[in-house]
Chains A and B, each alone.
Chain A
Amino acid sequence: MFRFFLLVALAASIYQDQIGTYDWHKVHIGKVIEIHATTGGKSIAISDRGILAMIKPSGELEWRRVVSSIDTYPLFTMSLSGIFTYSSGVLTMWTIQEGQIVWSLYIPEVLQLVLITQGISEVLAVLTENTIEIISIQEGELMKKIYLVKPEKIVFKYKDSIFVMDKKKNILKINSKNWDIEKIDFGEDNEVICAKDSCVAINEKKAKVINNGEIKDINWEVGKIQGVLDKFYVCEGENLVEILEEEVKIIKQIGKHVPSENSQMWLVESSSSLTIYSLEASSISLPSSSIPVLKFWGYTNSKGEFLGYILYEDYSILCFRNTLIRWIREEGLGHTSSLYFLELPSREMHAHNQYFAYIKDHNTWSDVLTNFFLRIESQINHRNIELEALEKDSFAFKKLIIAVSKSEYIFAIQSLNSQIFWRLKVKNLIKVVQLSHEEAILIENDGDKTKLTYLDIILGKKIKEQIYDIETVDVLQIGNEEDSAVYLVDKDFKLLPVVKHSGPELFFYIINSKNGSIEGLKHNNGINSKVWAMKLGTGEKILTYITNKAGNIHQPAIATGTSRLVYKYADENLFAVASQKGQELFVYVINAISGHVIYRLHQDQVSGSIHLAFHEQKLYIHYWNIKYERYEIISAEFFKSNVDDSASDVLQSYYSGGFSTDYSSKFTPEVTVFTQTYVFPYGIKDMKFTTTLQGITKPSLVMILESNQIYLLDSAFLSPRRKLEDNHEEGLFDDPTLPIYKPNIPWSSINIANYFIELEGISKLATTETWLESTSVVIAYDLDMFLIRVMPEKSFDVLSEDFSKSAIVLTIGGLALLNILVQLWFSSKCAKENFNT
């Protein structure tokens, strides 16, 4: 009976209806450079990533358009008739409501777009490097082209005149009726500052001013100009100054402020609130955020209501109406450059950590006694620990994602509900290293010094800081949860341990892409010694590299259909380096410990970006083939050359030198490499293998296609051991379960992981494992962020809807009963036999 209980083990599984319900998609546009309020509470925004979007009153996007391509800075202007953008040589007019293109035309190198009125109609003035082109907004036709000498910017328009400043600080006054040009010598050697309808060039106490279309000299005794607020100048002492006919006048002192980008309003930050003032002396207050404000746009309507947008330093943007916050968009995540998955503590772990953190600071006898009673009380009352949102779930689906933004902020996102729990300003972050389930180190480098911030990952609070006087170029992290080590690598590749490791030796390698050298070093007792070094061939340029993410190898050997055992050469110390020389691609597979080049592959007629994926014994290389004008994937698999044909072979090899699955990186076994080339229909931005906890599930290849789709590819299709149709010879490594080789990888829309969701600007992938062996978490990020759970071998550990719990209980119960009956019968039979004998 006891034997049955020994067989009982915990199994992680979920119901079928739970599949696919936890994916989330964060839609971003990036850091807003201009935003306008339109009708119906909607807003039109354009970002520095080249995205134009209409935002609903709820803060969601009504529509989103890529102006030309991601990360091309756009020029923008809009009026009631439409939106005008310029990017990558294309001037486009868009409709406001639907975001549809009305017309577009090619103009090289545009500096500025300004809408002007010509008579009763509105036209678009386009400033280029040597012209100003007037374009009709209805058809996008060129109406007039005026040649100018080195214009810099259109400073303002006044009545029928356009005022253009050239690079010599002269002002060109262009009459929009007859297109006459009047040149005004203005700035000379002085700095020229322009407001909404005037320009000033200050020379000590005198200033040359263009105001109301006229040029004049006036006394300037209000100090240096610090900024501009609509038609006013903000001078020394934060005084708001207005230019009158013959003089300047201080209107009021407005203090330290953020001026509105579009109106006569300004914002004042304090620790408790944000106060927004308008020149009419009215103001409103909004709750303060700890994050500084970068920009502010404000409007007032006829009722005197305030409406506006506040752009914060972390690129988040807030929309308000009077004192009510309408929406906040977290656009800092639209600039995610890297991300880390951190494991969350379980309830028990958290309680344990809390307890030890408490007794660390409370270690007197009375504290210990108090604590003892508290523990007894907690056992009786079962008080809940308030940690549900950031507490590990049963399957470890819930993780803390640390997204590193180019806004110099990091965001902690809970992976189940995509909620941001905390954010921190971190400059020049090199790496995030998790030390325990509640603690991580942020490693920053500002050139001369390296700062380590120990962080409580639940609260996002700093525990302590350490500063080292070294320039850290990289961080090495080795070991496991119980015995991990963190080393800082300085510019001379010296290692400084910041978290100790019990292991005596550490091997690491340096890839120098400048001179094409790769060196392997051993770190022992604080001293580095070079173990191996190589230098790529003349003219070869290192493009990319990848380490073998073998992880847990559950199946080190593969049983082929012919009852043979073939052994993977899946050394975790392998890495691959891709280099290019002209149109030739070279891929080196190197053992980082011994420095042995295991394999060198050559492919000709290659261009474009090279993507590598390396897992266990599989290496895939994606590239563009110039000759055939198609994308291809080279698949290589590494096996040990020895093959066991029978159980006696396995035993024999065990007794002669250990299992064939064991290997040491110090020695390179004889390796058999299989390669094959496949045709893949699409270009990709990134590819990675899925990872699972035990490595039982066969990994899938996840790819971000250039069309921003996430594609899952079964790696069986890419096996280089697929036999050719006309090859009937039997090989030692043949696997009859693999399909016959077909060069074209079959395309299936079922494998598109983002199904019908339209993603934009994703370029990087990260994967992590869960406690459910079938399931891997995949996140694609950059502009958008999309998280999905992937089951490469389907949901083999998922209970079906009609799973009968009663049937399994009855079966086990029946077996247990049968076992008891058989035991009773057998014992009575034995007793009888003993009695008879």
Chain B
Amino acid sequence: MIRVLLCLALTTAQDDFDLSGSTGSGKIAHKLFHSYDGVNWEVRGTIQLSIFGDKRRKPLISVKNTKFEKEKLNFKGNYYIGVYTEEESGFMIQSSTETCYLIGSDLQDIISVLVDSETGGITALNYKTEGKMCERTTTAQKMQTMAEVISTREALKPYFALPKPEIEQDNTSFLRKYWWAIAIGLFLFMSSAASPPPQQGAAAAPQRAS
């Protein structure tokens, strides 16, 4: 019976995953733009996303930097990166960091992207630096970029633990359960009552003669 209940519970749990609308896997390339002042934008490289048909699988990401001019960095301002939602038009998804932290990290940056699992489009960019040091100079010449995809967490479903099998209650009466203890007790009481009472003289016997 418990096995049947367990199977039912598992079937219900599987129902919670929406497997409909799964699309085929594919690769999508997004042009990665950057700006040294937040106004003038130019192509920095490409973000390549590998999307899987199973929505639950996290897309793979790689970033290729093709253009970066270290001398254009303004250590007092911000350094920006961006991706257009449509081909070089429309809305630009962008993120930035203070340039001095990028220099302080020896040009090691991290790009995290949030991906629309339906279209493979990028919906948000988290731009971070490897370190938290604010510096004016660095000997590094090229960007070293790490890339990752931000996961979307599925909300947990209320977990209903299976009811524990009820332990059969011991309905045996007190007398039936402890008859032996009562019997021993009664026997001891009866035997002590049956023995002759000690004489008065005997009671005085332990006293020492003076």
A residues in contact (CB < 8 Å) with B: 515, 517, 529-539, 586, 588, 594-597, 599-604, 632, 634, 666-668, 673, 675-679, 724-726, 741, 743
Contacts and interface: CB of A to CB of B under 8 A. Distances in A.
A677 B156 contact: yes
B45 interface: no
A597 B114 CA distance: 8
A535 B85 contact: yes
12 contacts: A534-B93, A538-B121, A539-B118, A594-B126, A597-B150, A600-B152, A604-B16, A668-B128, A675-B155, A675-B156, A677-B156, A743-B160
Nearest to A676: B156
B195 interface: no
Interface string B116-128: 1111010111101
B65 interface: no
Contact of B91 (A515, A531, A678, A741): A515
Contacts of A530: 38, 94
Dominant secondary structure at the A interface: strand
A668 B132 CA distance: 11
B91 A533 contact: yes
Nearest to B37: A529
B153 A673 contact: yes
B155 A634 contact: yes
Interface of B: 16, 18, 38, 78, 82, 85, 91-98, 101, 112, 114, 116-119, 121, 123-126, 128, 132, 150-161
Given A530-B94, A531-B78, A531-B96, A596 B126 contact: yes
A121 to B, nearest CB: 60
A298 B40 CA distance: 72
A677 B157 CA distance: 6
Nearest to A743: B158
A634 B156 CA distance: 8
Given A533-B91, A595-B95, A600 B150 contact: yes
A603 B119 contact: no
Contact of A668 (B114, B123, B126, B153): B126
Given A517-B91, A534-B123, A538-B119, A667 B128 contact: yes
Contacts of A604: 16, 18
B158 A632 contact: yes
Contacts of B112: 596-597
B123 A536 contact: yes
Contacts of B157: 677
A326 B95 CA distance: 65
Contacts of B116: 537-538
Of B116, B155, B159, most buried by chain A (CB within 10 Å of CB) is B155
Contacts of B16: 604
Contacts of A595: 95-96, 124-126
Contact of B93 (A535, A596, A675, A743): A535
B191 to A, nearest CB: 52
A666 B100 CA distance: 12
Contacts of B78: 529, 531
Given A668-B128, A743-B159, A532 B96 contact: yes
B129 to A, nearest CB: 8
A596 to B, nearest CB: 4
B153 A675 contact: yes
A597 B124 contact: yes
A805 to B, nearest CB: 51
B132 A601 contact: no
A533 B118 contact: no
A536 to B, nearest CB: 6
Contacts of B85: 535
Contacts of B97: 594, 666
User: Which 9 A-B pairs give the minimum distances between C-beta atoms?
Assistant: A743-B158, A537-B116, A534-B124, A603-B155, A596-B126, A600-B152, A533-B94, A597-B124, A725-B161
A162 to B, nearest CB: 60
Contact of B119 (A534, A537, A632): A537
B143 to A, nearest CB: 19
A678 B158 contact: yes
A666 B117 CA distance: 28
A601 B153 contact: yes
A165 B180 CA distance: 101
B110 to A, nearest CB: 10
Contact of A600 (B82, B119, B153): B153
B161 A532 contact: no
A666 B91 CA distance: 24
Contacts of A534: 93, 114, 123-125
A639 to B, nearest CB: 14
Contacts of A599: 153
Nearest to A657: B132
Nearest to A623: B155
A537 B114 CA distance: 9
Nearest to B77: A529
Contact of A679 (B95, B125, B153, B158): B158
Nearest to B90: A535
Contacts of B158: 632, 677-679, 743
Contact of A596 (B91, B118, B128, B156): B128
A597 B123 CA distance: 10
Contacts of B118: 537-539
Contact of A666 (B93, B98, B124): B98
Contacts of A538: 116, 118-119, 121
A602 B156 CA distance: 10
Contacts of B156: 675-677
A532 B91 contact: no
Contacts of A529: 38, 78
A535 B119 contact: no
B114 A602 contact: no
Contacts of B119: 537-538
A602 B97 CA distance: 28
Given A538-B116, A538-B121, A677-B158, A533 B92 contact: yes
B163 to A, nearest CB: 11
A784 B154 CA distance: 39
B80 to A, nearest CB: 8
A603 to B, nearest CB: 4
A511 to B, nearest CB: 13
A600 B160 contact: no
B127 to A, nearest CB: 8
Contacts of B151: 600
B153 A602 contact: yes
Nearest to B160: A743
A735 B150 CA distance: 28
A741 B159 contact: yes
Contact of B94 (A532, A586, A603): A532
A739 B92 CA distance: 47
Contact of B123 (A531, A535, A675, A678): A535
Contacts of B121: 537-538
B28 to A, nearest CB: 14
A595 B123 CA distance: 12
Given A595-B126, A597-B114, A677-B156, 6 more contacts: A537-B117, A537-B121, A594-B126, A600-B153, A601-B154, A602-B153
A724 B161 contact: yes
A531 B37 CA distance: 11
Contact of A724 (B91, B154, B155, B159): B159
Contacts of B161: 724-726
Given A531-B78, A604-B16, A537 B155 contact: no
A679 B93 CA distance: 37
A375 to B, nearest CB: 52
A819 B178 CA distance: 63
Nearest to B55: A602
Nearest to B18: A604
Nearest to A533: B94
A596 B110 CA distance: 12
A652 B35 CA distance: 39
Nearest to B155: A603
Nearest to B153: A601
Contacts of B124: 534-535, 588, 595, 597
